[in-house]
């Protein structure tokens, strides 16, 4: 515990807003892990993995599903299955997680060429710019071959903004028109579904594959799931093994994930409300700038007007507030089911103290 100077409060709690990937397994998840029915999943016999995959395929409205150790691996496998022929190209957002935060794996491991299109502030890419990025087959002597379009919903780097079902359907229609496949990085697709009030299966209806993170807002300790057609998932299973992602008694993890899916989807709306509450509070603090209207789910980006984001993060850490610096002037916070309304109020008081010197006692409730 970091002792504060006598002019301010002792640190009374830790509020971890670095990401929604930081949650700890609940008691129910730990019990499920301890009692999980397991077998060898490489042989396709782990009953808890099969149960989770069956449930996720049903929820997402797809034929099949595959448990994968991480969202990065599930995106990589999905792109590589769709782009299995050398010289393939994928159209994706210039701010997409696949393009920015996955070590360029689709190229360095998969040999797939990325063709980035500018992301708008709302996470979309202009449909006409996507169509313009599709390679003309007549130029095959010099061009890669476009085989896939990737969307991200909700969009992490665009502040957790949601792609509408209408937009997704239009991109799906464009992909079909050109004989392309559509993959959705749905790390937070349940957040988008809840925020839009659209069933998750409808939101991904036109997608040939979806990567769903169980370890983000759903709160599972580990893992993602790929959903798609039976033939797609069969190929994904082989590639998962190739990449070293085939695991043995993985039911221990899948049992926790099943609890997460059953218990935490209903908590996402509350995460969004707390994110909005935090954004509104931060926007009232002199020295911070927040686009409150852009907060649609559990992620909030904001600017430190005087550009001292690193100093502010360090100051807040001394009060037990953990946040993610995005740039010299911007910060990101992500709400999750283990952040209470009281934590939000405590966080706001710590920001206020750090920026204005005003100290408020933490009443701890």
Ligand X SMILES: Cc1ncc(COP(=O)(O)O)c(C=O)c1O
Ligand Y SMILES: C[C@@H](O)[C@H](N)C(=O)O
- Scanning residues 221 to 280, which ones bind ligand X (CB under 6 A)? 224
**Rounded CA separation 86/99 (Å):** 19
Which of 131, 107, 102, 138 shows the shortest CA–CA distance to 117? Answer: 131
Stretch that binds ligand X, among 70-78, 230-238, 244-252, 323-331 (CB under 6 A): 70-78
Among 185, 206, 296, 343, binds ligand X (CB under 6 A): 185
DSSP, collapsed to helix, strand or coil, labels residue 346 as helix
Question: Whose CB is nearest to ligand X?
Answer: 71
* Structure tokens belonging to residue 324: 């993610």
DSSP letter string over 170-191? HHHHHHHHTT-EEEEEETTHHH
Specify the residue, 75 or 349, whose C-beta has the smaller distance to ligand X: 75
Among 25, 71, 251, 281, binds ligand X (CB under 6 A): 71
Residue 55: count other Cβ atoms within 10 Å of its Cβ: 17
Among 152, 208, 271, 296, binds ligand X (CB under 6 A): 152
State the nearest-atom distance from the C-beta of 152 to ligand Y, in Å.
11
298 interacts with, out of ligand Y, ligand X, none, CB within 5 to 8 A per kind: none
State the nearest-atom distance from the C-beta of 156 to ligand Y, in Å.
5
The conformation of residue 164, written as its DSSP 8-state character, comes to P
Specify the residue, 18 or 267, whose C-beta has the smaller distance to ligand Y: 18
DSSP, collapsed to helix, strand or coil, labels residue 333 as strand
Residue 183 binding ligand X, by CB under 6 A: no
For binding to ligand Y (CB under 6 A), which residues are involved?
19, 21, 97, 101, 156
Residue 215 binding ligand X, by CB under 6 A: yes
Tell me how far apart the 2 most distant CA atoms of the chain are, in Å: 73
| Tokens 């504060």 sit on residue | 4
Question: Whose CB is nearest to ligand Y?
Answer: 19
Specify the residue, 19 or 74, whose C-beta has the smaller distance to ligand Y: 19
DSSP, collapsed to helix, strand or coil, labels residue 295 as coil
């Amino acid at each position: 515990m970091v002792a504060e100077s006598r002019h301010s409060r002792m640190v009374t709690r830790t509020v971890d807003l670095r990401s929604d990937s930081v949650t700890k397994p609940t008691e129910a998840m730990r019990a499920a892990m301890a009692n999980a029915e397991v077998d060898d999943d490489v042989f396709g016999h782990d009953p808890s993995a099969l149960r989770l995959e069956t449930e996720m395929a049903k929820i997402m409205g797809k034929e099949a599903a595959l448990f994968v150790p991480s969202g990065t691996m599930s995106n990589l496998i999905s792109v590589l299955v769709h782009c299995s022929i050398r010289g393939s190209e994928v159209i994706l957002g210039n701010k997409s997680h696949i393009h920015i935060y996955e070590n360029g794996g689709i190229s360095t491991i998969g040999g797939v060429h990325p063709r980035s299109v500018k992301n708008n502030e709302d996470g979309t890419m202009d449909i006409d710019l996507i169509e313009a990025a599709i390679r003309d087959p007549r130029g095959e002597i010099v061009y890669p071959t476009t085989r896939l379009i990737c969307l991200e919903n909700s969009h992490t780097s665009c502040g957790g903004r949601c792609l509408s079902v209408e937009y997704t359907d239009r991109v799906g229609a464009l992909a079909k028109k050109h004989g392309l496949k559509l993959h959705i990085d749905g790390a937070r697709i349940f957040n988008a579904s809840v925020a839009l009030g659209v069933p998750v299966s409808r939101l991904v209806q036109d997608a040939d594959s979806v990567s769903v993170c169980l370890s983000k807002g759903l709160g599972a300790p580990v893992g993602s799931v790929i959903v798609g057609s039976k033939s797609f998932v069969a190929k994904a299973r082989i590639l998962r093994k190739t990449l070293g992602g085939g695991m043995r008694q993985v039911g221990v993890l899948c049992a926790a994930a099943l609890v997460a899916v059953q218990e935490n989807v209903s908590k996402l709306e509350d995460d969004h409300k707390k994110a909005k509450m935090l954004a509104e509070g931060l926007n009232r603090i002199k020295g911070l700038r927040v686009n409150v209207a852009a907060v649609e789910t559990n992620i909030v980006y904001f600017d430190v007007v005087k550009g001292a984001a690193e100093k502010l993060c360090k100051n807040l850490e001394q009060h037990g507030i953990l946040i993610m610096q995005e740039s010299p002037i911007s910060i990101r916070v992500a709400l999750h089911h283990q952040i209470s309304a009281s934590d939000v109020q405590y966080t706001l008081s710590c920001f206020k103290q750090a920026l204005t010197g005003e100290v408020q006692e933490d009443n701890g409730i």
